[in-house]
Amino acid sequence: MRRTILALSALALTAPLALGLNAQASAAAKVNDAQAMAAVLADPRRDSDRVRDQYRHPAQTLAFFKIRPGMTVVDYMPSGGWYTRVLVPFLGDKGRYVGLNPDVRSLSDNWKTNYSGTHQTFPAKAQGWFAGMTGIAAIDGWNTDDVPGDLKGKVDRVLIMREIHNLWRVDILRKELTAIHGLLNKDGLLGIEEHRAKDKAPVSYLDGAMGYMRQQDVIALIEACGFELVGKSEINANKKDPANWPGGVWTLPPNLSGVTDPAEKARLLEIGESDRMTLLFRKRK
């Protein structure tokens, strides 16, 4: 009995110490990650990208998505590579970055031209951005129909940045989210950023063609495909955006599509980029 009491007493004394050490280690890791991200964002290679940091808030957004160096991260439909140029150096040489595009077999010829053959074209293009740079993540590129087996169930994070409306309007959202669900590991998370429509936006404005979607609709659609919401953030909110542009979200910067009047251009630049939801999901078991 005396030995049991002594053992319990020792446990009671060491448990707070262990918790304290874990908290210190976690705090130190966050500081290190923040410093690493600051260095990435300050790199002169990003001089042309940096103008959009005020709208995209990359440090805060990726921290909200719980992305850390050394992870395997899928960047879905990376397009021009704006986030590629943040993630690849941040993930570091123990990390893996995957640019993933849709299965294009059932899509229009335009989509097939833009998104087919990712494994052949994307890595070479991305490597060109980092020529001569060391300590960066391995870079892969695939379409969801040709992802290698060793990636399935091994991915830590998947990001879909302002592309849900496109998947919705061409009717491949469920198919692509099913493939993404299979890529994530048991603790994997899905980060979503999307242009946000007003709650009372008319149905005719919400088919994806205008670039905006209602937040409650996005949550419902993602959850219907095997995920559950674990967090919402207003990091990328913009209350100045009325989200009702006849020409869609591309009326705003950086596109300013169809805008020729200098006064109107100045007004739109004052509004800034779109109001955006930022959501985090985990895969439902």
Supply the pLDDT for residue 85. 96
pLDDT for position 251: 98
Per-residue confidence at 126, pLDDT binned at 50, 70, 90? confident
Please report, for residues 45, 110, 169, 177, 243, the alpha-carbon distance to residue 107 in angstroms, rounded to integers and kept in the order given: 35, 8, 11, 16, 28
Domain 50-283 has CATH 3.30.70.260: no
Q: In 77-169, where do the E strands start and end? A: 96-101, 138-143, 155-161
Q: Is the pLDDT of residue 120 over 90?
A: no
Every domain of the chain and the residues it spans:
1-42, 50-283
**Looking at residues 165-194, what average pLDDT do you find?**
97
pLDDT value of position 18? 63
Answer with the residue of higher pLDDT: 104 or 195. Answer: 195
Q: pLDDT at residue 228 above 60?
A: yes
Assess whether pLDDT exceeds 60 at residue 6: no
What are 257's two structure tokens? 């599509």
User: Tokens at residue 215, please?
Assistant: 């937040």
Distance CA 275, CA 236 (A): 7
Q: What is the pLDDT of residue 19?
A: 65
Residue 11 predicted with pLDDT over 80: no
- Under the banding of pLDDT at 50, 70 and 90, the label for residue 114 is confident
Does position 25 have pLDDT exceeding 60, yes or no? no
**Rounded CA gap, 174 and 209, in Å?**
18
- Dump the DSSP string for 145-174: TS--GGGTT-EEEEEEES-HHHHHHTT-HH
Q: Give the H or E element holding residue 94.
A: none
Task: Assign 285 a pLDDT band (cuts: 50, 70, 90).
Answer: confident
Q: By mean pLDDT, which of 18-22, 68-72, 171-175 is the weakest?
A: 18-22
Lowest-pLDDT choice from 47-56, 65-74, 100-109, 224-233? 100-109
Contact 259, 271 (CB under 8 A): no
Confidence band for 142, pLDDT divided at 50, 70 and 90: very high
Q: Are 243 and 201 in contact (CB under 8 A)?
A: yes
Query: What six digits make up the tokens of 103?
Result: 């299965």
Averaged pLDDT, 86-100: 97
pLDDT above 60 for 7: no
Number of neighbouring beta carbons within 10 Å of residue 139: 22
21: exposed, middle or buried (Cβ count in 10 Å: 0-12, 13-18, 19+)? exposed
Contact 152, 182 (CB under 8 A): yes
What percent of the chain stands above pLDDT 90? 78
Tokens of 159: 């990001």
